[in-house]
């Protein structure tokens, strides 16, 4: 098909009207020629012979009459070996290969290195019947066996004619020739393209999640676990530790590949990842964190339209690795900025606004995106998964705003960060009662947890939540009636919830030991804490009750700071038990 | 990049005039380009076919339909060179101190962003002598942080103090809607400190048109980038008052018939503010831009769209509050935050900094609880009473904005207060630190 061309007829900020000649498609990519500099843009609306396009760059200096060339395809991600450990902008330009300090308008860098040599090993052989996403071969991308797959855009059945012999190849070399149903030869390289806004398929089924993804963060793993292939979101006012919590999950999450999408957030936070991840060690494998991480970064000062692209590009890369049977975790900070980018465009197009001036289809856009996560069964019987956790930055800290409400409908886990907890420095500030994990209601997850951890685990978790709820109720009573105005057992109930709060919920993200807690250790600590809660110790007065729990809390906290089952740890453990037996005398 | 036309055609037929914009038929103008409308500065904000809308900075009062419109062929620029130092300019970058025009390289204001991959992590502490800042909310070069303050608080004075004490090569003031008195105050303070040669000011006062303010941050930051990027200098940019800047944004978007979002602010407020604040940077070559801004609040309300969006962009905030117990203006330790302090405390300051800071704030929180108890008519324990005594001293000797001591002195003062009012166990400080720094009650 002949590509369409056009000329610029209107400009409002980054919304440009193009009078086109030929045919254009919704979301098609075009380039506007500004004196030799090509500005990338995406069609977002067509009326008659006018296409409205959102430009991914500053439109300064653009004028009526500038020529436009349409590309005939949607915004695509380039997929192949070399994605891992890379740092991209929202349009998948490689930030590392841009030489200058300042981003240059119209400078687009290749996502993958086309000259790098990869050691290819065939997995398929001549005569095999293959489909989109079938594995043809593999190359070692660092530690990861990167599968070279039949391009996802291929439809129907193909017969392998030949696969390249094991050896050294570049990504553009042909590594296999397939025969399609019409009997034509089609050559396949190591690199393929995929439109980012379309969900990648190529799997046989997408079952309900049935196991959890450990994060090492107690308030998540113990109280409200997220499933592997599940979805969750973290809303919270500024200063409540959203980013610290997300970085903790990125460092510790039990995933093989992690994609971080920094969408419309602070540049210095991304710099922290750039500087620290190449140094920090992955607690699960001992490798450097950067070896399993890909960063998509469109900070708040980078072009607004590319924010939307950044989350889709990130998701596409995740789906690509999922098809290799990988356990992938996607973290996006923050989806509110993406929603705001949609709002800006909708506003410029003079669409009728929904709540808070957001576009009316916000909710469906968000749930569509969240639905791309999931655990899948591949054609070869193996599984792969994409777990997605997004943050939301609610305006004014008010959780009743459109982005939070729309996300609540789409995500299965809700980790509400509470201003009150942040103010009293109880970090992570996840509110234990407002937050929830729908996965705790899945029988398959309950069975998994009870098998994996302890046969009464879920029961214990529910008991813990109940103790926290009870503690909150009585603390309100104590505040109204005064310390003397309530029975002693109110104080006991309050301090039991404080014990859980200080020992289980609160966790020091900056302490090398406390920052990550294994499931075994979480089980051990929760059991110990619940044992004490179940002792029903009698106290003479509330001062004694307070002193008792304060002392116990202090000892438990020291345990949290010590290596699990180390001498120091066991010492504190013994001290607690000694203290308990004395206290009971 | 725009090219300058060899000849400038003059248009004299306006099609539409609103309070802030004019529209006329013209071909070939470029987006963002500057123009004059009846002698007043204006900028292209919308092109629709051959119909072009210009935002007139000074407002359109008295502009006739036959006003002369002349296009400049390029967006707003600033001449940059070392001559900028010590000078005062208006929002268009024109001298207002009777000095000569600046000779130097013409640069477009509002230039591109730094590649995040080429940034360095901020790492240099900026001491200010104010314990509410240095001890509790340490500033780091390359940081962006606003003062959140009610209009009756002395935020401009505190900011001037911070600027003059900070060890930086250049201070660039961007004054938006500055009252003439405050403008003269800044001028006076800078002169008195003998620091004029390292100060550059871009000022829009309250008697000037509000829309002109929109140019101030970009002017100030273009100058800042010249010194930080080209000259590898440490630059401190002061922006006051960003609330008035945002108000000007809402005026323009309103006149452009855009649908307002929360608090009548434009839907793009977050991106507009981020474009400014994200110019704060630590460069690999040693230069840096640090931004200290002022966002005035309406009765301490931080949920309003302006402080709310600001809080999501900046690396913390400094809250000023009048402490009625001591009659001092203090930097509120609960609501203030410096997100980058972790990068320098205990590294460029003494080993006890982080523990002392947290303990002092925790004890101050205990005092606040004791105060609530007192107000609710409950009896106070001995501990409560000691907390209250401690809080008074902590507020006067450390939190108050009139304090000017070194960080080591701040830490010593805190230890003195701990020893005076509390037992070692009550502080919960680490044993190794207590052995080394504990001061018994005199």
Tell me if A347 and B259 make a contact (CB, 8 A cut-off): yes
Q: State the CATH architecture for A5-74.
A: Beta Barrel (2.40)
- Tell me the mean pLDDT in the region A189-199: 96
| Separation between Cα atoms, residue B148 and residue B314, nearest integer Å | 12
Tell me if A101 and B115 make a contact (CB, 8 A cut-off): yes
Q: pLDDT digits over A346-372, tens only?
A: 888 888 888 888 999 999 999 999 999
The CA angle A40-A44-A50, to the nearest 5 degrees, is 90
CA nearest to A330, candidates A429, A405, A232, A194: A232
- So what's the pLDDT on residue B1? 37
Identify which of A95, A395, A483 has the shortest CB distance to residue B117.
A95
Give B194 to chain A, closest Cα distance, Å.
Answer: 34
Contacts with A347 from chain B: Cβ below 8 Å? 258-259, 267-268
Among A33, A293, A301, A511, pick the best mutation site for testing chain B contact (most B Cβ within 10 A). A301
Tell me if B30 and A425 make a contact (CB, 8 A cut-off): no
Identify which of B29, B112, B121 has the shortest CB distance to residue A275.
B121
- Tell me the mean pLDDT in the region B318-344: 92
- So what's the pLDDT on residue A161? 97
Contact between residue A223 and residue A464 where contact means Cβ atoms under 8 Å apart? yes
Contacts with A275 from chain B: Cβ below 8 Å? 121
Say whether pLDDT at A485 is over 90: no
Q: pLDDT digits over B96-149, tens only?
A: 999 999 999 999 999 898 999 999 999 899 999 999 999 999 999 999 999 999
Say whether pLDDT at B278 is over 50: yes
Of the listed ranges A536-540, B265-269, B427-431, the least confidently predicted one is B427-431
Contacts with A340 from chain B: Cβ below 8 Å? 267-268, 270-271
- So what's the pLDDT on residue B4? 45
Q: How many CB pairs under 8 A join A and B?
A: 178
Tell me if B115 and A103 make a contact (CB, 8 A cut-off): yes
| Separation between Cα atoms, residue A564 and residue A500, nearest integer Å | 18
Say whether pLDDT at B3 is over 70: no
Q: Which CATH class is domain A118-192?
A: mainly beta
Q: Sorting pLDDT into bands at 50, 70 and 90, what band is A1?
A: low
ipTM: 0.89
Q: pLDDT digits over B379-427, tens only?
A: 888 999 999 999 999 999 999 999 999 999 999 999 999 999 999 888 8
Q: pLDDT digits over A276-331, tens only?
A: 999 999 988 999 999 999 999 999 988 888 999 999 999 999 999 999 999 999 99
Pick the residue from chain A with its C-alpha nearest to B72.
A61
Residue A209 CB partners (closer than 8 Å, separation 6+):
A227, A228, A229, A230, A374, A375, A385, A439, A442, A444, A445
Q: Encoding tokens for residue A5?
A: 């061309």
- Tell me the mean pLDDT in the region A510-530: 94
Give A41's Cβ-side CA count (13 Å radius): 34
Among A54, A60, A353, A509, pick the best mutation site for testing chain B contact (most B Cβ within 10 A). A60
Please, what is the average pLDDT of chain A? 93
Tell me if B108 and A60 make a contact (CB, 8 A cut-off): yes
- So what's the pLDDT on residue A506? 95
Burial of B224 (0-12, 13-18, 19+ CB in 10 A): buried
- Tell me the mean pLDDT in the region B189-206: 92
| Separation between Cα atoms, residue A288 and residue B6, nearest integer Å | 58
- So what's the pLDDT on residue B8? 67
| Separation between Cα atoms, residue B116 and residue B283, nearest integer Å | 10
Question: Which helix (H) or strand (E) is A375 found in, with range?
Answer: strand A374-377
Contact between residue A23 and residue A58 where contact means Cβ atoms under 8 Å apart? no
Location of structure tokens 């687009």 = A108
Say whether pLDDT at A523 is over 70: yes
* Domain A212-452 = CATH 3.40.50.300: yes
- So what's the pLDDT on residue A416? 95
Identify which of B29, B113, B305 has the shortest CB distance to residue A103.
B113
Tell me if A271 and B303 make a contact (CB, 8 A cut-off): no
Listed by start position, the domains of chain B span: 10-71, 77-341, 353-437
Please give the CATH number for the structural domain made up of B77-341. 3.40.50.12240
- So what's the pLDDT on residue B6? 47
HEC readout, chain B: CCCCCCCCCEECCEEEECCCEEEEECCCCECCCEEEECCEEEEEEEEECCEEEEEECCCCCCCCCCCCEEECCCCCEEEECHHHCCCEECCCCCECCCCCCCCCEEEECCCCCECHHHCCCCCCEECCCCHHHHCCCCEECCCEEEEEECCCCCHHHHHHHHHHHCCCCEEEEEEEEECHHHHHHHHHHHHHCCCHHHEEEEEEECCCCHHHHHHHHHHHHHHHHHHHHHCCCEEEEEEECHHHHHHHHHHHHHHCCCCCCHHHCCCCHHHHHHHHHCCCEECCCCCEEEEEEEEECCCCCCCCHHHHHHHHHCCEEEEEEEECCCCEEEECCCCCEECCHHHCCCCCCCCCHHHHHHHHHHHHHHHHHHHHHHHCCCCCCHHHHHHHHHHHHHHHHHHECCCCCCHHHHHHHHHHHHHHHCCHHHHCCCHHHHHHHCCCCC
Please, what is the average pLDDT of chain B? 92
CB count within 10 Å of CB B339 equals: 22
Q: What percent of chain B has pLDDT over 70?
A: 98
The DSSP code sequence of A573-584 is HHHHHHHHHHHH
Contacts with B122 from chain A: Cβ below 8 Å? 268
Contacts with B139 from chain A: Cβ below 8 Å? none
- So what's the pLDDT on residue A425? 80
Listed by start position, the domains of chain A span: 5-74, 118-192, 212-452, 457-584
Single pTM value for the model: 0.93
The alpha carbon dihedral of A102, A103, A106, A107 has a sign of positive
Identify which of A12, A63, A396 has the shortest CB distance to residue B28.
A63
Q: pLDDT digits over B137-180, tens only?
A: 999 999 999 999 999 999 999 999 999 998 899 999 999 999 99
Contacts with B33 from chain A: Cβ below 8 Å? 61
Q: pLDDT digits over A379-405, tens only?
A: 999 999 999 999 999 988 889 999 999
| Separation between Cα atoms, residue B309 and residue B304, nearest integer Å | 8
CATH topology of domain A457-584: 1.10.1140
Tell me if B112 and A102 make a contact (CB, 8 A cut-off): yes
Of the listed ranges A109-123, A162-176, A467-481, the least confidently predicted one is A467-481
Contacts with A87 from chain B: Cβ below 8 Å? 117
Say whether pLDDT at A146 is over 90: yes
Give A415 to chain B, closest Cα distance, Å.
Answer: 18
Give A441 to chain B, closest Cα distance, Å.
Answer: 34
Say whether pLDDT at A585 is over 50: no
- So what's the pLDDT on residue A530? 97
- Tell me the mean pLDDT in the region A506-533: 94
Q: State the CATH architecture for B10-71.
A: Beta Barrel (2.40)
């Amino acid at each position: 098909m002949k590509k369409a061309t056009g000329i610029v007829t209107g400009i409002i900020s980054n919304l440009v009207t193009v009078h086109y000649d030929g045919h254009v498609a919704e979301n098609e990519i075009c380039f506007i020629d500004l004196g030799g500099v090509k500005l990338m843009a995406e069609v977002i609306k067509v009326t008659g012979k006018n296409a409205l396009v959102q430009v991914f760059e500053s439109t300064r200096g653009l004028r009526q009459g500038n020529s436009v060339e349409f590309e005939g395809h949607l915004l695509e991600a380039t997929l192949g070996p070399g994605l891992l450990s890379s740092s991209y902008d929202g349009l998948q330009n490689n930030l590392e290969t841009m030489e200058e300090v300042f981003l240059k308008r119209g400078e687009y860098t290749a996502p993958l290195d086309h000259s790098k040599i990869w050691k290819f090993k065939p997995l398929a052989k001549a005569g095999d019947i293959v489909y989109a996403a079938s594995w043809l071969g593999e190359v070692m991308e660092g530690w990861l066996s990167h599968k070279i797959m039949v391009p996802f855009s291929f439809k129907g059945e193909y017969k392998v004619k030949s696969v390249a012999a094991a050896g050294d190849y570049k990504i553009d070399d042909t590594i296999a020739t397939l025969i399609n149903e019409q009997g034509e030869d089609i050559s396949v390289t190591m690199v393929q393209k995929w439109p980012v806004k379309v969900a990648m398929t190529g799997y046989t089924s997408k079952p309900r999640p049935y196991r959890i993804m450990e994060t090492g963060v107690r308030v998540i793993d113990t109280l409200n676990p997220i499933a592997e292939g599940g979805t969750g979101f973290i809303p919270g006012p500024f200063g409540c530790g959203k980013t610290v919590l997300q970085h903790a999950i990125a460092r510790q999450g039990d995933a093989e590949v992690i994609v971080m999408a920094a969408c419309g957030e602070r540049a210095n936070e991304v710099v922290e990842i750039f500087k620290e991840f190449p140094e920090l060690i992955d607690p699960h494998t001992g490798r450097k964190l950067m070896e399993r991480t890909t960063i998509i970064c469109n900070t708040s000062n980078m072009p607004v339209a590319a924010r939307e692209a950044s989350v889709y590009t990130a998701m596409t890369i995740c789906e690509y690795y999922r098809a290799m049977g990988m356990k992938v975790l996607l973290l996006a900070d923050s989806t509110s900025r993406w929603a705001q980018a949609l709002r800006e465009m909708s506003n410029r197009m003079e669409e009728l606004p929904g709540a808070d001036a957001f576009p009316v289809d916000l909710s469906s856009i968000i749930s569509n995106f969240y639905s791309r996560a999931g655990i899948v069964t591949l054609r070869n019987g193996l599984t792969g998964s994409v777990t997605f956790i997004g943050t939301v930055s609610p305006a004014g800290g008010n959780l009743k705003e459109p982005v939070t409400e729309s996300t609540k409908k789409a995500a299965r886990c809700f980790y509400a960060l509470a201003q009150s907890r942040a103010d009293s420095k109880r970090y992570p500030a996840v509110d234990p009662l407002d937050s929830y994990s729908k996965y705790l209601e899945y029988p398959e997850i309950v069975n998994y947890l009870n098998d994996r951890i302890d046969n009464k685990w879920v029961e214990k978790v529910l008991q813990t939540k109940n103790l926290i709820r009870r503690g909150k109720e009585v603390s309100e009573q104590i505040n109204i009636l005064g310390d003397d105005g309530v029975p002693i057992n109110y104080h006991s109930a309050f301090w039991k919830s404080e014990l859980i709060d200080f020992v289980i919920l609160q966790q020091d993200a900056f302490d090398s030991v406390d920052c990550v807690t294994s499931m075994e250790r979480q089980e051990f600590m929760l059991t110990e804490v619940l044992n004490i809660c179940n002792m029903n110790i009698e106290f003479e007065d509330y001062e004694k009750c307070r002193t008792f729990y304060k002392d116990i809390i202090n000892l438990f906290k020291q345990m949290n700071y010590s290596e699990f089952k180390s001498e120091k740890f066991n010492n504190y453990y013994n001290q607690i038990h000694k203290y308990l037996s004395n206290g009971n005398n | 990049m725009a090219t300058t036309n060899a000849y400038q055609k003059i248009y004299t037929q306006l099609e539409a005039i609103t309070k802030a914009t004019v529209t006329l038929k013209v071909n070939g103008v470029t987006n963002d380009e500057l123009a004059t409308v009846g002698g007043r500065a204006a900028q292209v904000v919308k092109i629709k076919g051959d119909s072009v809308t210009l935002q007139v900075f000074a407002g359109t009062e008295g502009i006739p339909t036959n006003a002369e419109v002349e296009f400049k062929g390029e967006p707003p620029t600033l001449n940059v060179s070392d001559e900028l130092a010590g000078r005062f300019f208006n929002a268009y970058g024109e001298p207002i101190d009777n000095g000569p025009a600046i000779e130097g390289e013409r640069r477009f204001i509002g230039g591109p962003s730094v590649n995040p991959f080429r940034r360095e992590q901020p790492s240099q502490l900026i001491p200010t002598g104010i314990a509410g800042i240095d001890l509790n909310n340490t500033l780091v070069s390359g940081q962006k942080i606003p003062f959140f303050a009610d209009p009756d608080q002395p935020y401009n004075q505190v900011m001037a103090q911070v600027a003059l004490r900070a060890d930086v090569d250049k201070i660039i003031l961007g004054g938006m809607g500055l009252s003439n008195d405050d403008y003269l105050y800044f001028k006076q303070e800078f002169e008195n400190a003998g620091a004029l040669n390292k100060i550059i000011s871009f000022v829009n006062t309250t008697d000037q048109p509000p829309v002109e303010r929109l140019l101030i941050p970009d002017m100030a930051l273009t100058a800042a980038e010249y010194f930080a990027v080209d000259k590898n200098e440490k630059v401190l940019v002061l922006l006051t008052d960003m609330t008035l800047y945002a108000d000007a944004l809402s005026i323009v978007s309103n006149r452009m018939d855009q649908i307002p979002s929360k608090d009548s602010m434009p839907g793009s407020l977050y991106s507009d503010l981020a474009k400014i604040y994200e110019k704060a940077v630590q460069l690999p070559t040693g230069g840096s831009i640090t931004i200290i801004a002022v966002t005035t609040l309406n009765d301490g309300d931080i949920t309003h769209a302006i402080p709310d969006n600001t809080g999501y962009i900046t690396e913390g905030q400094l809250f000023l509050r009048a402490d009625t117990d001591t009659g001092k203006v203090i930097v509120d330790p609960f609501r203030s935050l410096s997100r980058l302090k972790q990068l320098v405390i205990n590294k460029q300051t003494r080993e006890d900094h982080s523990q002392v800071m947290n303990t002092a704030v925790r004890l101050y929180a205990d005092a606040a609880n004791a105060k609530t108890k007192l107000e609710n008519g409950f009896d106070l324990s001995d501990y409560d009473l000691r907390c209250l005594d401690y809080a008074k001293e902590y507020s006067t000797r450390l939190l108050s904005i009139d304090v000017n001591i070194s960080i080591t002195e701040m830490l010593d003062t805190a230890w003195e207060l701990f020893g005076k009012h509390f037992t070692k166990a009550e502080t919960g400080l680490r044993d190794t630190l207590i052995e080394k720094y504990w001061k018994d009650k005199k």
